[in-house]
Amino acid sequence: MSWKLTCQDAADGSGDLVLELPDDLMQAAGWKVGDVLELEGDLAHGGAIQLKKTVLCDVCGAGTVETGHGVLEARWRDGECEGLCLCKVCFDYAMATLRREHDVRHLFDEEGQ
Ligand SMILES: [Zn+2]
């Protein structure tokens, strides 16, 4: 899907442009007010641009555009859902911590059990 939108001058002397995103685009893309978007493309020469939602790490706040992000998520039987979006550094830390905890808990297990 694509939309043709017109950028408007911010009219504050900064030279910035304002791009108003219509509700149907926001809904189709799954974006909500407050999301941070990355812009790719050549806006200065009238070319097509691509907007991608930037996922910020819930722990350290780092952007995840270059590396992608990991998700630690629970969907409990009572319908409650909770989760964290994590940058690579925080995800690796969480995984290493859980693996270390597993190793400690099973340190004296007999092999093959
Ligand atoms: Zn992080």
Can you tell me the distance from the alpha carbon of 38 to that of 47, in angstroms, rounded to the nearest whole number?
16
The pLDDT of residue 70 is 95
Cβ-based burial of 91 (10 A; exposed 0-12, middle 13-18, buried ≥19)? buried
| Domain spans, the chain | 8-54, 56-113
The pLDDT of residue 43 is 67
How remote is the CA of residue 61 from the centroid of ligand 1, in Å? 6
Supply the pTM of this predicted model: 0.61
Structure tokens given for 67: 């590396």
- Measure CA of the first residue to CA of the last residue in the chain; give whole Å: 53
How remote is the CA of residue 69 from the centroid of ligand 1, in Å? 9
pLDDT tens per residue, range 83-113:
999 999 999 999 999 999 999 999 998 865 5
Which residue carries 């039987």 as its tokens? 77
How remote is the CA of residue 18 from the centroid of ligand 1, in Å? 30
Low-confidence spans in the chain with pLDDT less than 70: 43-44, 46, 111-113
